[in-house]
Amino acid sequence: MRSLKWRSVAAAALALASAAATVLVATPASADAALRVHAQARGKFIGTALATSPLANETAYRNIAQSEFNQVTAENAMKWSDTEPNDNQYTFSGADQIVNFATANNQQVHGHTLVWHSQTPGWVQNLSATNMRTAMNDHIATVVGRYASNPTVVSWDVVNEVFEENGSFRSSFWYNTLGSSFIADAFRAARAADPDARLCINDYNVEGINAKSTAMYNLVSQLRSQNVPVDCVGFQSHLSTQYGFPNDLQQNLQRFANLGVQVRITELDVRIQGSRTSAKDATQATYYRNVVNACLAVTACAGVTIWGFTDKYSWVPDTFPGEGFALLYDNNYSQKPSYTAVHDALDDGTNPTDTTPPTTPGAPTASGITSSGASLSWTASTDSGGSGLAGYNVYNSSGTQIATSTTNSATLSGLSASTAYTVYVRARDGAGNLSSNSTSTTFTTTGGSSDTTAPTTPGTPAASSITSSGATLSWTASTDSGGSGLAGYNVYNSGGTQIATSTTNSATLTGLSASTAYTVYVRARDGAGNLSSNSASVTFTTTGGSTGGCTVAATLQTQWGGGYVVQPVTVTNGSSARTSWAITFTLPSGHTIVGSWNAVLTVSGNTVTARNAAYNGNLGSGASTTFGFQVARPSSDTSTASGYTCA
Ligand code: G3I
């Protein structure tokens, strides 16, 4: 009963494989097949943690996530702070995004994490014992229950990091309020919510045999003897090349396996100090190889999850300033020696081949048809051959490939006006196998040229997820009444240079410089190429890189001949809690501050420093607050304050 989800997935995969292999041509995987192909051949999973923002916004991120891994864990999206920020108010957008991605790519999801002392909202931490136990049980029932009938979600970290380094129970608000009984209660609640999910206890610094791992061993042994449903133990494995490799890892995994539990590596990364050198890369690669080999050597080890895959989005530099480069791909998505080490450890030389093509996609539906383009979307394929769904090719009626896509939609452009197009799609997997042709669809482009009406002006962009090299913008959408339809948006910097385009009312800016103020605005564009007026602009400042710090984003709310209001100026804290903040910005000459709120402003020359008010200086990790101000300026002047920097 317990592993029903695992069994049903495997059975479905086999059924599909035998049904499809008889009718379709297949291309063998090459010797350097993706990690997931080799892992599947060894009976293990190879997984990655996924972050929701790059998953939504970066094609390169999605491509690697789906082609290389057959297991995923939400890096943050299933944590309490994300799923139940307020009592009984649940949000599953990020969690669903990850589960849907995994489903589309034939990956299993490990739920992370239900009961943890970190990333749990304040309202939980301050409850009485009775109410805290109720809140915990409700949370588990709701979050686990949501995915209980979903075969993609196969396991959960039920409790996370409950030990101190010396093996005593961690002095967390859970333990201090409820005693250690919360652990058994949590497992029982999770089993009740999903009898088929594998339930894990997870921790760090338990890779070798030491006081902490022995305490874990004793607890698991004791809980199982009391029939508490602990099925699995997760070894996070946040390793660093500055410390020796835990050479007793395999022995430690085996002693847990001997208790009858599944074991798994849940959050592997190997950080290095300072900058990369080939010697450090080689040491790191050895650590990765050793971990994979230890899991391969222990039958009960289900697989290895790496805590992300690109150094671009690793948690390490934020937590350990001066350390990083912990993953398999560099910031530009190039494979590192660590990738080769994991690959070669998984590759036993038998050259596994994925010969099973994906299922046939649904017939494409055409929408947003203009004189020169159209959008297509179709029901997604699934892939069971091991290499995973890689994307889709779009063909015209003569069989010429006219577009590719990594999602189940595509935008066609450069079409001729008043012309009928017949198109169909085929899915492709990581080994290059192509599905059968979908049913085709015929649509006719519009007559073109008669639309001279520009779309309405988009709303002021809001900047979020600001890092040292990028930011996400979103704005209220435009509408188009000219007939050719809204085609998308262009994003411009203050010099009028187009820096991004988007087909939706949001865009991701990348490749920005650290600690730099950017002023940007957007214009909507229709299918005939008409551009709207400029939106109002927003100014935001990229962070200083790996040191944490804070970020600031300022929105010009309104302006008139003689002045303007900037509101809100959003100050977002980095990863360390702070008790004060200060923002500087520059006023053009002749401008004077005439009012402000939620901050104390001082002016020196053209530089304004805004410091927190008495009541809004305390900002927890990732928390934000806002302030605003009003400026008078010469009536002929249209410039505004700029250069917002978080000091
Ligand atoms: O979402 C906010 C964003 O709105 C804000 O602008 C930004 C400003 O700093 O913060 C964002 O939240 C951050 C969140 O990651 C998402 O990026 C939090 O500040 C940050 O604290 C959080 O860090 C996560 C950390 O757990 C929290 O303790 C890391 O991404 C995540 O990798 C890390 O993962 C943990 C495992 O869950 C458990 N084991 C250890 C592991 C590493 O610490």
**Residue pLDDT, tens place only, 385-394:** 777 888 899 9
Where do we find the tokens 């017949």? 422
Site to probe by mutation for ligand 1, drawn from 207, 315, 540, 576 as the one with most ligand atoms within 8 Å of Cβ, is 315
The domain that holds 342 is classified in CATH as 3.20.20.80
Residue 90 tokens read as: 């649940």
What is the predicted pLDDT for the residue at 449? 62
Does 429 share its domain with 481?
A: no
Does 575 share its domain with 609?
A: yes
Does 287 share its domain with 216?
A: yes
Does 62 share its domain with 80?
A: yes
Taking all residues of the chain, what is their mean pLDDT, rounded to a whole number?
90
Q: Which atom of ligand 1 is nearest to the CA of 49?
A: 32
For helices 59-68 and 93-104, the axis angle rounded to 10 degrees is 60
**Residue pLDDT, tens place only, 12-39:** 333 333 333 222 333 333 447 899 999 9
Report how far ligand 1's centroid is from the alpha carbon of 318 (Å).
9
Q: Which atom of ligand 1 is nearest to the CA of 465?
A: 6
pLDDT of residue 7 exceeding 80: no
- Residue 434 pLDDT grade (very low, low, confident, very high; cuts 50, 70, 90): confident
Of 541, 567, 583, which residue sits at a domain end?
A: 541
| Nearest in space to 305 (alpha carbons), one of 51, 71, 520 | 71
Does 197 share its domain with 336?
A: yes
What is the predicted pLDDT for the residue at 545? 53
Cα–Cα distances (Å) from 528 to 369, 451, 457, 502, in that order, read 11, 6, 16, 16
pLDDT of residue 402 exceeding 90: no
* 215/229 Cα distance (integer angstroms): 18
**Residue pLDDT, tens place only, 490-543:** 999 988 888 888 999 999 998 887 778 899 999 999 888 889 999 999 999 887
Report how far ligand 1's centroid is from the alpha carbon of 320 (Å).
13
Query: What's phi and psi for 128, nearest 5 deg?
Result: -70, 165
- Residue 646 pLDDT grade (very low, low, confident, very high; cuts 50, 70, 90): confident
Domain carrying residue 338? 12-346
Domain count for the chain, please give it.
Answer: 4
- Residue 418 pLDDT grade (very low, low, confident, very high; cuts 50, 70, 90): confident
**Residue pLDDT, tens place only, 109-128:** 999 999 999 999 999 999 99
* 217/188 Cα distance (integer angstroms): 19
| Nearest in space to 46 (alpha carbons), one of 243, 271, 429, 341 | 341
Query: Is residue 117 classed as helix, strand or coil in its secondary structure?
Result: coil
The string of DSSP codes covering 236-282 is --EEETTS---TTHHHHHHHHHTTT-EEEEEEEEEEEESS--HHHHH
- Could you give the strand order of the β-sheet that contains 506-509, starting from the edge strand earlier in sequence? 462-464, 471-474, 506-509
Query: Is residue 324 classed as helix, strand or coil in its secondary structure?
Result: strand
What is the predicted pLDDT for the residue at 399? 77
Report how far ligand 1's centroid is from the alpha carbon of 405 (Å).
30
What is the predicted pLDDT for the residue at 29? 34
**Using a 6 Å cutoff on CB, does residue 575 contact ligand 1?**
yes
**Using a 6 Å cutoff on CB, does residue 85 contact ligand 1?**
no
Q: Is 250 within the bounds of a domain?
A: yes
Does 496 share its domain with 563?
A: no
- Which residue's CA is the closest to the ligand 1 atom numbered 34? 75
**Using a 6 Å cutoff on CB, does residue 157 contact ligand 1?**
no
pLDDT of residue 93 exceeding 70: yes
Report how far ligand 1's centroid is from the alpha carbon of 118 (Å).
10
The mean per-residue pLDDT over the stretch 331-355 comes to 90
The mean per-residue pLDDT over the stretch 29-57 comes to 89
Does 517 share its domain with 619?
A: no
Residue 406 tokens read as: 């990594």
What is the predicted pLDDT for the residue at 587? 95
Does 559 share its domain with 621?
A: yes
Are 532 and 515 in contact by the 8 Å Cβ rule? The answer is: no
Task: Give the alpha-carbon dihedral of 81, 83, 89, 91, to 10 degrees.
Answer: 130
Site to probe by mutation for ligand 1, drawn from 53, 75, 76, 541 as the one with most ligand atoms within 8 Å of Cβ, is 76
The mean per-residue pLDDT over the stretch 604-625 comes to 91
Q: What is the 3-state secondary structure (H, E, C) of 37-82?
A: HHHHHCCCEEEEEECHHHHHHCHHHHHHHHHHCCEEEECCCCCHHH
Catalytically annotated residue among 75, 161, 207, 323: 161
Q: Is 18 within the bounds of a domain?
A: yes
Report how far ligand 1's centroid is from the alpha carbon of 574 (Å).
10
What is the predicted pLDDT for the residue at 266? 98
What is the predicted pLDDT for the residue at 21? 29
The mean per-residue pLDDT over the stretch 349-375 comes to 87
pLDDT of residue 471 exceeding 70: yes
* 124/135 Cα distance (integer angstroms): 7
What is the predicted pLDDT for the residue at 206? 98
Does 617 share its domain with 569?
A: yes
pLDDT of residue 306 exceeding 70: yes
- Residue 448 pLDDT grade (very low, low, confident, very high; cuts 50, 70, 90): low
Report percent pLDDT > 70 for the chain. Answer: 94
Does 219 share its domain with 294?
A: yes
Cα–Cα distances (Å) from 331 to 48, 129, 315, 510, in that order, read 16, 45, 13, 12
**Using a 6 Å cutoff on CB, does residue 572 contact ligand 1?**
yes
pLDDT of residue 275 exceeding 60: yes
Model-level pTM greater than 0.85? no
- Count helices and strands (H / E) in the chain: 15, 32
The domain that holds 529 is classified in CATH as 2.60.40.10
Q: Is 353 within the bounds of a domain?
A: no
pLDDT of residue 10 exceeding 80: no
Residue 131 tokens read as: 């109410």
267 catalytic? Reply is: yes
Does 585 share its domain with 498?
A: no
Site to probe by mutation for ligand 1, drawn from 72, 120, 473, 575 as the one with most ligand atoms within 8 Å of Cβ, is 575
- Which residue's CA is the closest to the ligand 1 atom numbered 20? 575
Q: Which atom of ligand 1 is nearest to the CA of 319?
A: 43
Report how far ligand 1's centroid is from the alpha carbon of 414 (Å).
42
Does 269 share its domain with 132?
A: yes
